[in-house]
Structure 1
Amino acid sequence: MELKNAVAVVTGGASGLGEASVRLLIENGARAAILDVAEERAARIVSELGSNVIFCKTDVTEEKSVQAAMDRTMEAFGAISIALSCAGVATPGKVIGREGPLSINIFNRVVQINLIGTMNVIRLAAQKMLANPPNKDGEKGVVINTASIAAFEGQVGQAAYSSSKAGVVGLTLPIAREFADYGIRVVTIAPGVFWTPMLEGLPEKAKESLANMMPFPKRLGKPAEYARLVKEIVENPMLNGETIRLDAALRMAAK
């Protein structure tokens, strides 16, 4: 799919991986809707990038909120051809901790945002994509999800996060097979450790320790590098039904 004149909805688009992706998409001629809860950050991006970007305050766990964002994007740009899910949380917690068992409310919140939120975006965006005219390959849209290498090598304390991201990996192939009949591709990115707002509060020694874990390059990933993979997925029609690790060969230890 060509990026020029494409229309993307991007959850978590006001910061980190999502923001970098919005910027690269706009730079390459696309238009985008930022679906996020961070109003101030989103307003700053919209002010900077201009009329090719809109902001829809969106709670991805609420169907009505996501549906309203899809409808507003259609009103503003006339179509949705790319759905990129970057919204997520990584609340840690041992299943059996010092204060007893992990709160099921914590587990549920992580799953609701990371997995249910992704599914809400997939199903509601894809419904809009069905109306798109197909390109020469018969393609009508692209769905890109964000998992994590924690889906494969979850660490102690990551039961909620790892299972939510493993769910995203697990839905990728079956939905890609289903959507093949509609000309809609589905691909998931599993990032390693990237500089995102989730890491900003860490002490410098902790950041250095994370960087030293990376085989090569020996540094954390940059959001712009994630965005470049998003661009490649959109433009390469043979990428479908797969989860792509973007991790500098990192394999997480148990702790």
Structure 2
Amino acid sequence: MKLDNTISAVITGGASGLGAATARRLAAKGVKIAIFDLQEEKGEALAQELGGVFCKVNVTDEASVDAGFAKAREAIGQERILVNCAGTGNAIKTASRSKEDGSIKHFPLDAFNWIIQINLVGTFRCIAKSAAGMMTLDPTEDGDRGAIVNTASVAAEDGQIGQAAYSASKGGVVGMTLPIARDLMNEGIRVNTILPGIFNTPLLQGAPQNVKDALSASVPFPKRLGEPDEYAALATLMIENGYFNGEDVRLDGAIRMAPR
């Protein structure tokens, strides 16, 4: 897909981190940007910077997602690009024993479901609604009606202690990539997923330096945290390269996560 000012993109979780970096990289190529996020102040500021539109969207709420797409399409037209970066995590053991009194508790199911609803169901909700919109478009000269990039995690393949919900949600994103690509193959809509390793996002920027140094040292090469623009570069490549389809790609400096 040739990226220029005739192309529109929706980026979920686009107000910060990986999503914001992707928004900036696509905008630099002329793409019109719609940012879906719950962070109004950051989202509005970035949309203004990029000449795009901010839509306050909760990916777990269907009406909110529908309203977001309606606002985005009115402002910048039907998107040909969707990048799903909205997500979150938690760290709770499946079952654990208290060190204080030996009492046993299990992972609260509402906390498990919350992660699944945001990371997996929310991603699929946005894919389905965006793909339906992309199907109304004429193909570009290279045959593309659209391109979708999802965000999973290396935890989809080597989740750590306490990451049962997070790993399940991200493993689900990986698992649905190929079936969705096959669902949409006759419509000229491509679907790929990135599995980031340890990235220098707002989640980690507030961590103590010794923690960040230890995380950096655990990466085989290069021994540092990933930068959001490196994610954005891969997402852009997946969009631009018309033969990139149905793939799940780790972007992690060759790290394989230890149990903890």
**TM-score, reference length from structure 2:** 0.95
Counterpart residue identity of residue 199, structure 2? F
Answer yes or no: is the 8 Å Cα contact 2:22–2:229 preserved in 1.
yes
Structure 2 counterparts to residues 30-49 of structure 1, below 5 A: 30-49=31-50
Q: How does 1:86-235 map to 2 (within 5 A)?
A: 86-97=85-96, 98=98, 100-235=105-240
- Indicate the residue corresponding to 2:72 in structure 1: 73
Structure 1 stretches of 5 or more lacking a match? none
For 1:231, what is the secondary structure of its paired residue? helix
- Give the counterpart letter for 1:182 in structure 2: E
Structure 1 residue 46, shift from structure 2 partner: 2.1
CA contact (8 A) 2:178 2:247 kept: yes
The answer to whether the 8 Å contact 2:34/2:47 transfers is no
The offset of 1:148, in angstroms, is 0.3
- How far residue 200 of structure 1 moved from its aligned partner, in angstroms, is 2.6
Matching of residue 26 in structure 1 with residue 31 in structure 2: no
Moved more, 99-108 or 5-14: 99-108
For residue 126 of structure 1, what is the amino acid of its counterpart?
A: A
SS at match of 1:126: helix
**Structure 2 runs not aligned, ≥5 long:** 99-103
Give structure 1 regions of 4+ aligned residues with deviation exceeding 3 angstroms: none
Worse overlay, 101-110 or 41-50: 41-50
Shift, 1:254, TM fit: 1.4
- 2: distance between equivalents of 1:202 and 1:112? 27
Provide the C-alpha distance between the structure 1 equivalents of 2:235 and 2:73, rounded to a whole number of angstroms: 22
The Cα shift of 1:47 comes to: 2.6
Cα deviation for residue 151 of structure 1 reads 0.1
CA distance in 2, matches of 1:16, 1:124: 24
Which amino acid in the other structure matches residue 203 of structure 1? P
Which residue of 1 is the match for residue 101 of structure 2?
A: none
Cα distance in 1 for partners of 2:60, 2:2 equals 30
Matched, 1:83 2:78: no
Alpha-carbon displacement from aligned partner over 1:65-111 (angstroms, at most 9, x marks no partner): 11111111111122110011001101111111336111111111111
Larger Rg: 2
Match of 2:15 in 1: 14
- The alpha-carbon deviation at position 140 of structure 1 amounts to 0.1
- More displaced, 90-99 or 238-247? 90-99
Letter in 1 for 2:149: I
Alpha-carbon shift at residue 44 of structure 1 (Å): 1.5
Q: Offset of 1:17 from its aligned partner?
A: 0.1
Deviations 1:38-63 (A, max 9, x none): 0011121123222xx10000000111
Q: In structure 2, what is the Cα distance between the partners aligned to 1:80 and 1:49?
A: 16
Aligned Cα root-mean-square deviation (Å): 1.0
Identical pairs, percent? 49
Secondary structure of 1:187's aligned partner: strand
Letter in 1 for 2:64: S
- Helix, strand or coil for the counterpart of 1:219? coil
Give the letter aligned to residue 53 of structure 2. I
